[in-house]
Amino acid sequence: SRVLRELSEKKKVVVVEHDLAIMDFLCDVVHILYGEEGVFGVVTHPKAVRHAINTYLSGYLSEENIRFSEPIEFEEHPPKPRQDLPLLVTFQRLVKMFKSFRLTVETGAIRVGEVVGVVGPNAIGKTTFVKMLAGVVEPTDGSVDAKIVVSYKPQYISIDYDGTVQEILYKTAEPLFTSNFHKTEIFDALKLKHLMEKPVSSLSGGELQTVAVASCLAKEADLYLIDEPSAYLDSKQRMLVSRTIRRVVENLGKSALVVDHDVYFIDMISDALMVFDGVPGKEGVGRGPFSLHEGMNLFLKAVDVTFRRDEETRRPRVNKPGSYMDRRQKEIGEYYYASV
């Protein structure tokens, strides 16, 4: 994003992007495209970035008086005092050595009823950590006291299945069809109905992702491990998926660990945060879980970006680099939602 910003001082740059935080950071004006999938599309006049994102989320173009979709509401969730929640699983300083990579995850614990977000650059060990919790990879040193059942959605989904979505979900995620809760909160919420007759092998990346998340959430487990759910999804699908994960975890009193690069997605979904850093491909260190506020502050400081809340929608907003709020928040070390 920084490279593109520099380039835009001399040239015009057009960016197509699903990550609203990136868009907020990068763009001055935004064209919204709306319409009906596979039928028609309409491009709006350019709007200032804040107004464009709010309009997009509201589903309503006030200038043109056109409703183009359902509104998507940002559900603000009050911070949960973590220390009040019972422990679900503790991991003791985990070390994993590969031939040319070393991962250390400091001792930490996941609590019952919380969603823990995981952020950090690529090739820093996030997936390896998730796999150690899932019991797929053995730590070289340290341990997970895991007498718990996990349901795991891997980062790379490869379903080698010769049948329809309905068939595979019947096999792997029966509650989607038999439990009212799962039907409403997962099947309907993720709009799976129109995918039922499709062969699994014909699904697009986004459709496959949605099916994989649904299948993961429908399984009976104590801890849901969800590695990069927003990949291949558009911004609206991301909101639906994040809301679904939160609702399921909250209503069933379970826990989830969610790795993702979309900072708005992570902000929406997480009660607590783990932050990974180090030298990608060589050495990674994972820390946390911290409270969302503390974790976000650490993470945003490392990438040198500040956030505030949008007054209208309560969604997070990236402060423009060098703006008054940006400078002020950096000065006092509040990279995340300072009330200044």
Ligand X SMILES: Nc1ncnc2c1ncn2[C@@H]1O[C@H](COP(=O)(O)OP(=O)(O)O)[C@@H](O)[C@H]1O
Contact residues for 177 (Cβ-Cβ < 8 A; gap 6+):
169, 170, 183, 187
How buried is 321 (Cβ within 10 angstroms: 0-12 exposed, 13-18 middle, 19+ buried)?
middle
| Environment class of 145 (CB within 10 Å of its CB; exposed 0-12, middle 13-18, buried 19+) | exposed
Least distance from Mg ion to the Cβ atom of residue 185, Å: 27
Residue 315 in contact with ligand X, rule: CB under 6 A: no
Q: How many residues bind ligand X (CB under 6 A)?
A: 11
- Sign of the CA dihedral running 41, 47, 49, 50: negative
Cβ 123 to Mg ion shortest distance, Å? 8
Which of ligand X, Mg ion, none does 124 bind, CB closer than 5 to 8 A by kind? ligand X
Count of other CB atoms within 10 angstroms of residue 252 = 17
On whether the CB atoms of residues 217 and 151 are closer than 8 A, the answer is yes
The partner in contact with residue 281, picked from ligand X, Mg ion, none with C-beta cut-offs of 5 to 8 angstroms by kind, is ligand X
In angstroms, what is the minimal distance from the CB of 122 to ligand X? 4
C-alpha span between 290 and 69 (Å, rounded): 36
Contact pattern from residue 259 through residue 298 relative to ligand X, giving x for each residue in contact according to CB under 6 A and a dash for the rest: ----------------------x-----------------
Stretch (H or E) spanning 17: none
Residue number, 61 or 212, with CB nearest to Mg ion: 212
Q: Is 123 one of the binding residues for ligand X (CB under 6 A)?
A: yes
Does 155 bind Mg ion (CB under 5 A)? Our answer is yes
- Identify which of residues 59 and 121 has a Cβ nearer to ligand X in the complex: 121
**Cβ-contact 230, 262 below 8 angstroms:** yes
**Contact status: 127 vs Mg ion (CB under 5 A):** yes
- Considering the complex, what minimum distance in angstroms separates the CB of residue 57 from ligand X? 29
Binding site for ligand X (CB under 6 A): 98-99, 101, 122-128, 281
Binding site for Mg ion (CB under 5 A): 126-127, 155
